[in-house]
Amino acid sequence: MIDEQQQDLQLFFDELDKQKITPVIFQPFFNEIKEKIKLSGSIETFSQSEDLTEEDIEFMISLGGDGTLLDTITMVRDKLIAIVGINFGRLGFLAGIGRNEVAAAVKAIAKRTHIVDKRSLIHLDADTPLFGDIPYALNEFAIHKRDVAPMIKIHTYVNGEFLNTYWADGLIVATPTGSTGYSLSCNGPIIFPDSGNFVITPVAPHNLNVRPIVVPDDNIISFEVESRDENIICALDSRREIINRFVQLAVRKEKFAAHLVRLSENNFLQTLRNKLTWGLDKRN
């Protein structure tokens, strides 16, 4: 842990103490910081999702980058626990609260002046068990060829009706939240978080006339994959599994949503301008 991070963490826990908020700390994280951070009072810890209850835990605070917040989603699951993303990482598109806003964020939580945004999730169904009991993602579902394989053919259907066969390295189905992530890097469109859509984005398509397409998120999108390799890669956010290419895959909107906290003065348009440096062109 570098000195700057240690100072920020100390400020964070000091502010919790000042606002009389009792932290319950993830056990591996507590083991890492207990010799470096001064913690007042008795400390409670948790080790797994089952340890978290809505009656005892109101907020889950993610200290890190967007990857840390995505891991937090897998901990909270379908519980009505709001997630606070404080960016101790780099870009921080999802973890939108800066490290310079730690005191303001803790105060907003204590005084209930924050805003909670509901973010839709994407759910994966398959004819073989995949991803244990967390077959959902906040950002995207993706199919990829393996590194040693040539491009694959992904036959794609919307509510059972044939849409297209994608000759590509892979295919992404992103939520509105995920539209500013991997999908955006593959030339997918940016979608407002409350738009109620999925975007289907090919990865390195062989046909140049193939473009991303936006579909309502009440549709079921299913796939059949052809590959010269026996296996393909299936991904939910940063979690990946290598599966047989004959596995039947389909995605739909998850029945529950993620609840992300933002400070009242921050909104999606401000995040776009700040993170993508829009409006900073010197010609303006």
pLDDT-based confidence at 272, cuts 50/70/90?
Answer: confident
Give yes or no for a contact between 133 and 148, defined as CB atoms under 8 angstroms apart. no
Question: Which phi and psi angles does 18 have, rounded to 5°?
Answer: -65, -35
Give the tens place of pLDDT for each residue, 18-72: 998 889 999 999 998 888 888 877 788 999 999 999 888 999 999 988 899 999 9
Catalytic residues: 66
C-alpha distances out from residue 65 to 14, 72, 99, 104, 229, Å: 21, 11, 11, 18, 34
Q: Is the dihedral of CA 135, 140, 141, 144 positive or negative?
A: negative
pLDDT of residue 279: 75
C-alpha torsion 223→224→229→233, nearest 10: 20
| Tokens (6 digits) for 33 | 């910081």
Give the tens place of pLDDT for each residue, 89-129: 776 778 888 888 889 999 999 999 898 999 999 999 999 99
pLDDT of residue 198: 98
pLDDT of residue 284: 60
Percent helix, percent strand, percent coil in the chain, to nearest 5? 25, 35, 40
pLDDT-based confidence at 139, cuts 50/70/90?
Answer: very high
* Distance in angstroms (rounded) separating the CA atoms of residues 177 and 154: 24
* Distance in angstroms (rounded) separating the CA atoms of residues 70 and 68: 5
Give the tens place of pLDDT for each residue, 67-87: 999 999 999 999 999 999 998
Amino acid at 244: N
* Distance in angstroms (rounded) separating the CA atoms of residues 237 and 229: 23
38, with CB counted inside 10 A (0-12, 13-18, 19+), is exposed
Put simply, whether the predicted model's pTM sits higher than 0.85 gets the answer yes
pLDDT of residue 217: 97
Neighbours of 278 (CB within 10 A): 11
Name all domains of the chain by residue range, CATH numbers in brackets.
3-114+263-275 (3.40.50.10330), 123-254 (2.60.200.30)
Residue among 166, 104, 137, 156 at smallest CA distance from 241: 137
Give the tens place of pLDDT for each residue, 190-249: 999 999 999 999 999 998 899 999 999 999 999 999 999 999 999 999 999 999 999 999
Residue among 116, 106, 101 at smallest CA distance from 20: 106
* Distance in angstroms (rounded) separating the CA atoms of residues 193 and 103: 26
Give yes or no for a contact between 141 and 177, defined as CB atoms under 8 angstroms apart. no
For the chain, how long is the longest CA-to-CA vector?
62
